[in-house]
Amino acid sequence: MQDLKIAGIQHDIVWKDKEANFDALSKILKGLDVDLVVLPEMFQTGFCFEKEELAEHMSDSKTLKWLEAMASELQAVVTGSFIAVEDGQFYNRLAWMRPDGTYETYDKRHLFSMSDEPNHFTAGATKLIVDVNGWKVCPMICYDLRFPVWVRNSEYYDALIFVANWPQRRSMHWEKLLQARAIENQCYAIGVNRCGYDGNNIYHDGKSAIITPMGEVAQHIENEAGVLLQTIEASEIKKTRRYMPFLRDADAFELS
């Protein structure tokens, strides 16, 4: 397992304007020398529910085409979520796009009931574990961060990713829960949030961060747009699990 170069893009998303966000992000990503690019939740629209207007079919998705172009240009995996429609159902769907144009998807499991998300989207039922440069990575979406049973490291993955539109008024929870998920799962936790005001005048202060398996903040950005750059080290995973091998003592369970 090689060390992994990550870029987390903390972006002030232009509300419901896909082309403006594609253009801005293309400029930010240009020339990055990384293995993995992580974008915020609904990075091309902001967190909104106008699904009939904004949802994309997988067969002709502008977002997938843009992700494919970026992954090919950078020769890196690029990931983030968007509104997808399939068989008449709408999803907050993360795409994990590889440089060769192949991809996998994860549908947000925990829909944010405080904002009426369950009345607009269908919840996912399956975790996604993907490989990049020998790393096993588990991508999640925003509200999933609050549910340790779902996130639980029963697959011995090496890194958790959370793409988010997490508001400033609950940012303390964001920071503490990222650290908790890293510590309890003995893995890196990478949280990439948006910044700025959304179309509902809700402020997001970003606080995108990379947390080590020991729960230490390796890198973070607050408030302004920027790129979170960090090389995460395979040796840290091995050292932490050797020093405190408590994953092997975890309770076994299955989700119904």
> How confident is the model over 108-136, as pLDDT tens digits?
999 998 888 999 999 999 999 999 999 99
Residue 1 neighbours by CB distance under 10 Å = 14
8 A C-beta contact, residue 199 and residue 16: yes
CA dist 12 and 137 (Å) reads: 26
Read off the pLDDT of residues 28-51 as tens digits, 9 standing for 90 and up.
Answer: 999 999 999 999 999 999 999 998
* 32 neighbors 5 (Cβ within 8 angstroms): no
CB atoms within 10 A of CB 219: 17
Helices 18-29 and 62-74, packing angle to 10 deg = 10
Which tokens is 210 given? 């990379």
Residue 27 backbone phi and psi in degrees, to 5: -70, -40
What average pLDDT does this structure show over 14-25? 98
Domains of the chain and any CATH numbers = 4-249 (3.60.110.10)
Q: pLDDT digit string (tens) for 142-198?
A: 999 999 999 999 888 999 999 999 999 999 999 999 999 999 999 999 999 999 999
Percent of the chain with pLDDT over 90: 90
Terminal alpha carbon distance of the chain: 33
- The answer to whether residues 36 and 77 touch, using CB atoms and an 8 Å cutoff, is yes
* Distance between CA atoms of residues 66 and 168, nearest Å: 29
For 67-76, what is the mean pLDDT? 98
Catalytic residues: 41, 108, 142
> Average of pLDDT values for 66-95?
97
Whole-prediction pTM: 0.96
Sign for the pseudo-dihedral over CA of 44, 48, 53, 58: positive
pLDDT band, very low/low/confident/very high, at 251 (cuts 50, 70, 90): confident
Calculate the CA dihedral of residues 203, 205, 210, 215 and round it to 10 degrees: -100
232 strand-pairing partners: 4
- In single-letter form, the type of residue at position 13 comes to I
Contacts of residue 244, Cβ cutoff 8 Å, sequence gap at least 6: 186
Q: Beta-carbon neighbour count of residue 242 at 10 Å?
A: 8
